[in-house]
Amino acid sequence: MSTSMNGKAASATGAAEDVLLDIRGLRIEGQSDDVWSQIVKGVDVKLVRGRVLGLIGESGAGKSTIGLAAMGFARPGCRITGGEIYFEGTDIRKLSQSEQIRLRGRRIAYVAQSAAAAFNPAHRLIDQVVEASLAHGLMTREEAVARAIELFGRLGLPDPENIGNRYPHQVSGGQLQRIMTAMALAPRPSLVVFDEPTTALDVTTQIDVLVAIKNAIHAEGASALYITHDLAVVAQIADEIMVLRHGRMVELGATDDIISRPKEEYTRDLVGIRQIHKTEGNGLAREPLLFVDGVTAAYGNALTVLHDVTVFLPQAQTLAIVGESGSGKSTMARVITGLLPPRKGVIRFQGQNLPPRLADRSKEQLRVLQMIYQMPDVAINPRQKVREIIGRPLDFYFGLSGRERDARVSELLEQIELGRKFLDRYPAELSGGQKQRVCIARALAAEPRLIICDEPTSALDPLVADGILKLLLRLQAETKVSYLFITHDIATVRAIADSVCVLYRGKVVRFGPKAEVLAPPFDDYTDLLLKSVPEMQVGWLEDVLKTRRMESAGN
């Protein structure tokens, strides 16, 4: 059984190969608004025993649906309409319902994206972990518990003997995800389907879970389908990668080939993202546009979220605020915009103190400071047309109306590469990236000096996110606007920032020009953060593990 991690791709002609899963011409339909339409349009998947196949694609590519179909399962609102699914030589689709049930959990197991939701809140973890082994009559309870404890240890969980006695809400997200992996591996299945197992986790936790999963798969000698939207993640764990798009296969190949020698243009684009690199402007010395001076902020009476934060940002430059969730980076945006008046410290803008409370700021002070949000879906009113969304700031700040206003809106639409045909569309008729562009146009309409960008690309598919970053850079060159860019992604920082501030538990760990902050010597936290974002490079994970100094913050 091959356990080589990045072995040569299984060539399609190899006769002696032990093919575990062979899906041919798979077609799946999905229902939306009473109409059935094809979401998987004839896909072939072949997985050799002992290997890991990565399925990658943007949202809507059909990758999760394929993963479930490998178990003969279709979610409500989906149905498998064509193709054969051979698992260990038998076509699952031809099996009866009860025969399929006997296969699930025993021979093929599943690891879901959100562990917090996929565990039953009413039962202890251990009972859920051993459930499949017992239901399929594979072992006695004692054996199953011993096996679970062995797996807990292998997955690096603390206190493997007792952690199973807890309830799901009593352990952290990263631990739950490992316990779910243990749950899947417990009955010794030959195939495990991982459906974005690290996506919902914090950046620094993601790597630890990824390592745990990788080691466990290889130690168990299991085969796996690993589904994700992140090519860099899948490159760390898969032997082969299949790129999917719009329910069709784009390219299939050995991991190294896909990463280093992609054939299709779409794959090349996927590999090519995160290669934007902004040469940093010099000028931290210049009179700053924004000066956050000794700010301490708290919600309510108890929780202090920011401790004595001092950062500044010159005109026409970008300051990236980096940190994981809970580090206080979004709170910083709320303090600067006046939504959360600080306990201590002041915000200076263009040399003047800004009133701490939003209500006390003048229209002019509000105009020069605009904001872009993480979720474009909820950042624009679904009941307003693009014309109104972008037009309102023009009307509000500059008193434009009628033809004059429409002309300016069209101009802005051109600027964000959409064009005036979008004037009368509702947000529901736009894609995620288009919505984010509309948000950018709305901010630009106020002709601001500073735009606060709160993770504007993290909810978007990688290629779309790339497009947004390029747009932001171009707009900065054109309009000399400054960005305060909040993110957890170091690659994004490299792409867009001039200076960087690393936040950890509400304190500034590191602040300075990008070249300085991202160059050694590092403090432990920056080191961890830098080594938490997978790079598009085979073997990166192993290198990082050797050099990393700090365990993830979640542990």
Partner 1 sequence: MTTTTPSIEERAGADGERSTISLVLRELRKAPLTAWFGMLVIFAYLFVALFAHWVAPYGESQVFDTPYANWAYIPHWSWLGPIPYWVTFEPTGSEFLLGTDQLGRDMLTRLIYGARNTIGIAVATTLLSFAIGGGLGILAAVRGGWFDQILSRAVDVLMAIPSLIFALMLLSIFGSSVLNLIIIIAILDSTRVFRLSRAVAMNVVVMDFVEAARLRGERLAWIMRREILPNVLPPLVAEFGLRFCFVFLTISALSFLGVGIQPPTADWGSMVRENATLITYGNVTPLLPAGAIALLTVAVNFVVDWFLHKTSGLRDEH
Partner 2 sequence: MHPILRTVVQRLALALVTLFVVSIIIFSAVEMLPGDFAKAILGQSATPETVKAFQHEIGLDRPPIERYVDWITNAVQGDFGSSYAARAGYKRTVAGIIEPRLWNTLFLAGVTALVAVPLALFLGITAALYRNSLYDRTVNALTLTTISFPEFFVAYMLMLFLAVKYPIFYSLANVSADTPLLERISRIALPVMTLTLVIVAHMMRMTRAALINLLASPYIEMARLKGIPNREVILKHALPNAWAPIVNVIAFNLAYLVVGVVVVEVVFVYPGIGQLMVDSVTSRDIPVVQACALIFAGTYIMLNLTADIIAIVTNPRILHPR
For 266, the token pair is 């779409």
Does residue 358 touch partner 1 according to CB under 8 A? yes
CB of 489 to partner 1, least distance (A): 18
Among 105, 314, 467, 534, binds partner 1 (CB under 8 A): 467
Q: Which does 122 bind (CB under 5 to 8 A by kind): partner 2, partner 1, none?
A: partner 2
Does residue 276 touch partner 2 according to CB under 8 A? no
Contacts of 495 (CB under 8 A, 6+ apart): 274, 276, 277, 278, 469, 473
Q: Which does 248 bind (CB under 5 to 8 A by kind): partner 1, partner 2, none?
A: none
Residue 244: alpha-carbon gap to chain centroid: 18
Does residue 363 touch partner 1 according to CB under 8 A? yes
Does residue 370 touch partner 1 according to CB under 8 A? yes
CA distance linking residue 208 with residue 555, whole number of Å: 9
Stretch that binds partner 2, among 108-116, 149-157, 289-297, 541-549 (CB under 8 A): 108-116
30's enclosing H/E stretch is strand 19-32
Residue 215: alpha-carbon gap to chain centroid: 22
Among 86, 167, 266, 540, binds partner 2 (CB under 8 A): 167
Does residue 136 touch partner 2 according to CB under 8 A? yes
Contacts of 304 (CB under 8 A, 6+ apart): 296, 297, 298, 343, 506
Among 105, 338, 427, 534, binds partner 2 (CB under 8 A): 105
CA distance linking residue 169 with residue 189, whole number of Å: 27
Binding mask 173-212 for partner 2 (x = CB under 8 A): ----------x-----------------------------
Does residue 361 touch partner 1 according to CB under 8 A? yes
CA distance linking residue 108 with residue 215, whole number of Å: 19
Stretch that binds partner 2, among 69-77, 87-95, 208-216, 468-476 (CB under 8 A): 69-77
One-letter identity of residue 462: P
Does residue 382 touch partner 1 according to CB under 8 A? yes
CA distance linking residue 193 with residue 226, whole number of Å: 6
Does residue 539 touch partner 1 according to CB under 8 A? no
Does residue 74 touch partner 2 according to CB under 8 A? no
Per-residue exposure over 233-243, b if at least 16 CB sit within 10 Å of its own CB, e if not? bbbbbbbbbbb
Contacts with partner 1 in 22-41 (CB under 8 A)? Answer: 32-34
Does residue 139 touch partner 2 according to CB under 8 A? no
Identify the residue whose tokens are 């991991």. Answer: 255
Binding mask 407-426 for partner 2 (x = CB under 8 A): --------------------
For 253, the token pair is 């190949």
CB of 138 to partner 2, least distance (A): 11
CB of 249 to partner 2, least distance (A): 24
Cα(first)–Cα(last) distance of the chain, in Å? Answer: 34
Residue 74: alpha-carbon gap to chain centroid: 25
Pairing of strands 78-87, 19-32: antiparallel
Q: Which does 105 bind (CB under 5 to 8 A by kind): partner 2, partner 1, none?
A: partner 2
Does residue 429 touch partner 1 according to CB under 8 A? yes
Stretch that binds partner 2, among 3-11, 111-119, 232-240, 300-308 (CB under 8 A): 111-119
Contact 172, 203 (CB under 8 A): no
Contact 198, 161 (CB under 8 A): no
CB of 467 to partner 1, least distance (A): 3
* Residues 372, 450, 415, 278, Cα dihedral to 10°: -90
For 174, the token pair is 């990263």
Binding mask 478-517 for partner 1 (x = CB under 8 A): ----------------------------------------
Within 10 A of 294 (CB to CB), how many other CB atoms are there?
12
Nearer to partner 1, 7 or 272 (CB): 272
Does residue 290 touch partner 2 according to CB under 8 A? no
Ramachandran region, residue 83 (left: φ > 0; alpha: ψ -120 to 50; beta: rest): left
For 323, the token pair is 């940190």
CA distance linking residue 376 with residue 433, whole number of Å: 8
Stretch that binds partner 1, among 131-139, 144-152, 159-167, 261-269 (CB under 8 A): 261-269
Q: Which does 71 bind (CB under 5 to 8 A by kind): partner 1, partner 2, none?
A: partner 2
For 239, the token pair is 């032997």
Does residue 543 touch partner 1 according to CB under 8 A? no
Does residue 104 touch partner 2 according to CB under 8 A? yes
Does residue 67 touch partner 1 according to CB under 8 A? no
Q: Which does 269 bind (CB under 5 to 8 A by kind): partner 2, partner 1, none?
A: partner 1
Provide φ and ψ at 475, rounded to 5°.
-65, -35
Does residue 141 touch partner 2 according to CB under 8 A? no
* CA nearest neighbour of 380 among 429, 449, 448: 429
Contact 89, 30 (CB under 8 A): no
Does residue 122 touch partner 2 according to CB under 8 A? yes
Contact 177, 115 (CB under 8 A): yes
Residues in the chain: 555
Binding mask 187-206 for partner 1 (x = CB under 8 A): --------------------
**Which strands, in side-by-side order, build the sheet including 303-314?**
303-314, 288-299, 344-349, 352-353
Pairing of strands 191-195, 108-111: parallel
CB of 302 to partner 2, least distance (A): 17
Binding stretches for partner 2 (CB under 8 A): 68, 71, 73, 75-76, 98, 101-106, 109-110, 112, 114, 117-123, 131-132, 135-136, 166-167, 169-170, 183
Binding stretches for partner 1 (CB under 8 A): 32-34, 265-266, 269, 337-339, 358, 361, 363, 366, 369-371, 373, 375, 378-384, 392-393, 396, 417-418, 422, 424-425, 428-434, 442, 446, 463-464, 466-467, 470
